[in-house]
Structure 1
Amino acid sequence: MTNRTNAVTVMKSISIFAFVALLISCKENQKQSNSKVESNSVEQTLKKEGIGITFTESEKEAIFDQYLNIRDALFNSDTMAAKEAAQELADEVSETKIKNAAEEIAFSDDIEMQRKAFQELSTEIEPLLKGSLASGEIYKQYCPMAFEHKGAAWLSDSKKILNPYFGEKMPRCGTVQETIQ
């Protein structure tokens, strides 16, 4: 009878352990799901904040929208999304230096190379957008630590810093350097 009692006790212990493991596993999946929802809500917030920005030419608005899509993809370290948005930008723009920088992002599978090309894209796109705002504000943001402390700037439709050069490694590294109106 003691062997049978021991077997029942062992089975109960295994069942309890399996149940606890299942609960912990479900909780981890819920945390991952919540972080995805939070990430999507950050992206949605960024899109909503930029609604007040309008340009004198619809082409410039489309260019800035694609630029923001590239920035968001780099912030999320999503090389495929960066490639797609960059290709769309390259197809829309006629300025050679902007087109070349966008194509460099579109043709690269390396996130660091994409980020370096994005720095060039940011430099080239800024003068194009500066004189064409009809309403709203664009924020020139700067991270002094990007590219081995050489620093790099990017444009944003929000004051909130979401660093495309470091992504999740250092998402808030940077400051608003200039407000373009």
Structure 2
Amino acid sequence: MKKFRVVGTSLMLAMILAASCNSKKQEGTHEHDHAMETSEQASKSVESGAILAFKDDESAKVFHHYLTVKNALVEGDAAAASEGAKKLLAVDGFQGQEAAKKIEAASDIAVQRDAFVALSASVEQLVASQVSSGAVYKQYCPMAFEGKGGYWLSDQEAIRNPYYGDKMLTCGRVDKVMGEL
């Protein structure tokens, strides 16, 4: 009888965990390493085919380098996250300097992921009103940071979780869409 209770409890916990995360399988990856050419910088969204563009060069550069950091965290690549943060620090007037410095200086992916929460908030403040076409997706993982949750931004609707990487790649949801689809 005890064996059935343990199995039943384990199954219930597994169902709760699955319900709190988006278990939809995501296909493919999207590379964000493209040249920055005009003030209406664009990156192609995999799902919608819409072009994401910003009103000014600084917003476009910040978002491009932010995506480099996010994608490096998704891949668990601390060195690439550090390099992306270094490029963010080179953008004139960027307000997320403190978080970017922490990510650049850290070689521990967990430290970088902690600092990424503040970086995401800074980047959101900058780009939210600067999207001239396309969409930026504000995404959320309720499981991040021991159940406290964590937000990040993406140019794709598909969830690619920077807080867990391949451990829980698709855990999360879209909470807000900035710009137009």
TM-score by length of 2: 0.73
Q: Map residues 51-62 of structure 1 onto 2, 5 A cutoff.
A: 52-62=51-61
User: Aligned partners of 2:87, 2:176: CA distance in 1, in Å?
Assistant: 27
Equivalent position of 2:121 in the other structure = 123
SS in structure 1 at match of 2:68: helix
Structure 2: segments with no counterpart, 5+ residues: 1-27, 34-42
2:146 pairs with one of 145, 148, 172:
148
The 10-residue stretch of structure 1 (43-52 or 63-72) with the greater mean CA deviation from structure 2: 43-52
Q: 1:63, 1:93 within 8 Å by CA — same for their partners in 2?
A: no
Equivalent position of 2:16 in the other structure = none
Deviation at 1:100, TM superposition (A): 1.1
User: Aligned partners of 1:160, 1:45: CA distance in 2, in Å?
Assistant: 15
SS in structure 1 at match of 2:174: strand
Equivalent position of 1:110 in the other structure = 108
Q: Which runs of 4+ in 1 moved over 6 A?
A: none
Equivalent position of 2:68 in the other structure = 69
RCO comparison, higher one (Cα < 8 Å, 6+): 2
SS in structure 2 at match of 1:123: helix
User: Aligned partners of 2:163, 2:99: CA distance in 1, in Å?
Assistant: 15
Is 1:43 the equivalent of 2:30?
yes
User: Aligned partners of 2:86, 2:104: CA distance in 1, in Å?
Assistant: 5
Deviation at 1:66, TM superposition (A): 0.2
2:130 pairs with one of 125, 129, 132:
132
Deviation at 1:45, TM superposition (A): 8.4
Equivalent position of 1:169 in the other structure = 167
Structure with bigger helix share is 1
Q: 1:90, 1:100 within 8 Å by CA — same for their partners in 2?
A: no
Is 1:101 the equivalent of 2:88?
no
User: Aligned partners of 1:127, 1:59: CA distance in 2, in Å?
Assistant: 13
User: Aligned partners of 2:136, 2:173: CA distance in 1, in Å?
Assistant: 13
Figure out how many residues of one structure are paired with residues of the other and give that number. 140
Bigger CA radius of gyration: 1
SS in structure 2 at match of 1:81: helix
Structure 1: segments with no counterpart, 5+ residues: 1-40
User: Aligned partners of 1:137, 1:48: CA distance in 2, in Å?
Assistant: 10
Deviation at 1:48, TM superposition (A): 3.6
RMSD: 1.8
Q: 2:140, 2:172 within 8 Å by CA — same for their partners in 1?
A: yes
**Cα deviations across residues 143-162 of structure 1 (Å, max 9, x unaligned)?**
00000000000000000000
User: Aligned partners of 1:84, 1:103: CA distance in 2, in Å?
Assistant: 11
